[in-house]
Amino acid sequence: MSWKRGSAVAVGLLALLTAGCGLGISANDSVVNQRVVPAGPGVTSDIADGAVVEPGTRWTFTAEPGWTIAVDGPQLGKQTPSADGSGTGVWKSRPLPPGIQVPAHVVATHAEGETREHHFNISTGTAKYQYDVEFSGLTSTRYGVGHMPTLEFSIPIPKKSRPDVINNLSASVSPKNVTVAFRWLDDQRLAYRPKKFWPGHSKITVTSDITTVPIKYNGKTYWGERNSHTWRTGKSTIITIKADRHRGEVHVNGKKVRSISTSVGKPGYTTRSGIKTITDKFTVTRMTNIGVTDDEVYDIEVPYAMRLTETGEFLHAAPWNGNIGYANTSHGCTNLYTSDAAWIFERAQWGDPVITTGTGRAMETWNGPGGMWNIPWTQWRN
């Protein structure tokens, strides 16, 4: 009987073994299911490891049936992947920029719990077309605290790409840092500024890292470069003009250092109220309205002239004006005594703010660089 029982067990075991690999025998001779993990890496890459690809290529990883994948990379910043790569079936990168090494670490996990790790490394070739950015203020001059710097791109930037461009721009201010925001002026230029004026005696560095922002232009794809520019502010000089009182003040680094007498525009030639900045200086310059208007024609040589607007407002000496300090009788400029104008002229920096109040006419935001300080901060940031 013992031999027959052994034969039955042997025959039964043979039958089970020949039935397939999905079943097995437990320690107490009961039949159990075997968990089988298929062979293979669990993930496929559409680019071979070590390959060199064209800029703009999107790298795709696809999980094999029964697997999910977690992808770490490409290491190009938080905006590069189109997904976080965790537990996905398909992972695709954003367009890869030119001239870089691109690593990726992929963990494939099977439904039964087994994991497999893979490391890939590819590189991108050089860009055929590139666009760059030019920074304003390329001299070593120290600017006033109202300086309005700009960036100009070599090709137009379409609206859909502008948020990506701004996300790859940054500005730092030292030693006292302030929040800085960028604003588009047109399709190739933008300006940047803090909420209030720049701190005096500061270093400002703006960085453009647009290497990951491709731009379509004239049917071609252009890639940007990384570049930066540093400029400095000098002392904080702010000139205030109280038009209705025919007076003004000069503040340097927060302290009032000089009181001045003024005469601004008379009716019909009203001076603008608001923030302007000094954008040019002339020891002597000719001013005339010949060919502009036939009313009260003038043609004179003006000393110590400092331009405030694109449309022709100046801060300048007016030795012919006997109403300085008493009445507003100019043709729109802010007239000063020669001694006050000379004193300011010798110390003035490009970008020094001139703030006028009390005229009833608002300063246009487009009328010279200083006009942009009149855009409310909430609007500027948006």
DSSP secondary structure string, 44-110? EESS-TT-EE-TT---EEEEPTTEEEEEE---S-TTSBSS--SSBSEEEBPPPPSS-EEEEEEEEEE
Among residues 214, 232, 250, which one ends one of the domains?
232
d(CA 117, CA 115): 7
Residue 35's pLDDT is: 64
Using DSSP, state whether 205 is helix, strand or coil.
strand
- pLDDT at residue number 6: 39
Give the pLDDT score at 94: 83
| pLDDT given for residue 279 in this prediction | 94
The reply to whether 305 falls in a domain is yes
Q: Are residues 55 and 159 part of one domain?
A: no
**Domain CATH number, residue 155:** 2.60.40.3710
Decide if 4 is inside a domain: no
Longest alpha-carbon distance in the chain: 138
Report if residue 17 sits inside a domain: no
Q: Measure the CA–CA gap between 23 and 142, rounded to whole angstroms.
A: 83
Give residue 371's pLDDT. 97
Predicted TM-score (pTM) of the model is 0.79
Query: Residue 37, class by beta-carbon neighbours within 10 Å (0-12 exposed, 13-18 middle, 19+ buried)?
Result: middle
Domain of 241: which CATH number?
Answer: 2.40.440.10
Asked if 242 and 367 sit in the same domain, the reply is yes
Give the pLDDT of residue 86. 64
Q: Which of 89, 124, 159 is the last residue of a domain?
A: 124
Q: CB neighbours of 248 closer than 8 A, spacing ≥ 6?
A: 239, 240, 241, 242, 259, 260, 261, 262, 334
Shared domain for 52 and 94, answered yes or no, is: yes
Is residue 272 domain-shared with residue 192, that is, in the same domain?
Answer: no
Dihedral, 359, 362, 368, 371 alpha carbons, nearest 10: 110
Q: Residue 13: its pLDDT value, please?
A: 32
CA torsion angle for 103, 79, 129, 207 (degrees, to 10)? -110
CA distance 236 to 145: 6
The residue from 187, 207, 232 where one domain ends is: 232
Do 69 and 163 lie in a common domain?
Answer: no
What is the structure's pLDDT at 138? 60
Computed over its alpha carbons, how large is the radius of gyration of the chain? 36
Residues 81, 301: Cα–Cα separation, whole Å? 63
Overall domain count for the chain: 3
pLDDT at 82 (0 to 100): 42
Look at residue 29 and tell me if it is in a domain. no
Extract the tokens encoding 382: 């948006």
The reply to whether 6 falls in a domain is: no
In a domain, 313, yes or no: yes
Within this chain, do residues 165 and 217 fall inside the same structural domain, yes or no?
Answer: yes
- Work out the burial of residue 232: count CB atoms within 10 Å of its CB; fewer than 13 is exposed, 13-18 middle, 19 or more buried: middle
The answer to whether residue 376 sits within a structural domain is no
What is the spatial distance between Cα 170 and Cα 210, in angstroms, rounded to a whole number? Answer: 11
* Spans in the chain with pLDDT lower than 70: 1-35, 74-86, 137-140, 290-294
The predicted pLDDT at position 83 comes to: 46
Whole-number Å distance between alpha carbons of 336 and 304:
10
Domain span at 118: 43-124
Average pLDDT, the chain: 87
Preceding peptide of 175 cis, ω within 30°: yes
Q: How far apart are CA 161 and CA 157, in angstroms?
A: 6
Does one domain contain both 141 and 108? no
Q: Are 347 and 314 in a shared domain?
A: yes
Could you tell me which of 227, 224, 203, 207 has the C-alpha nearest to residue 215? 224
Residue 35 lies in a domain: no
Are residues 74 and 102 both part of a single domain?
yes
Residue 19: predicted pLDDT: 38
Same domain for 150 and 90, yes or no, is no
Residues 226, 246: one domain?
no
| Cα angle value 217/219/220 (rounded, 5°) | 70
Could you tell me if 151 and 111 lie in one domain? Answer: no
DSSP sequence for 221-258: EEB--EEEEEEEB-S-EEEEEEGGGTEEEEEETTEEEE
Q: Residue 71: give its domain's CATH number.
A: 2.60.40.3780
Which residues are bridge partners to 196 per DSSP? none
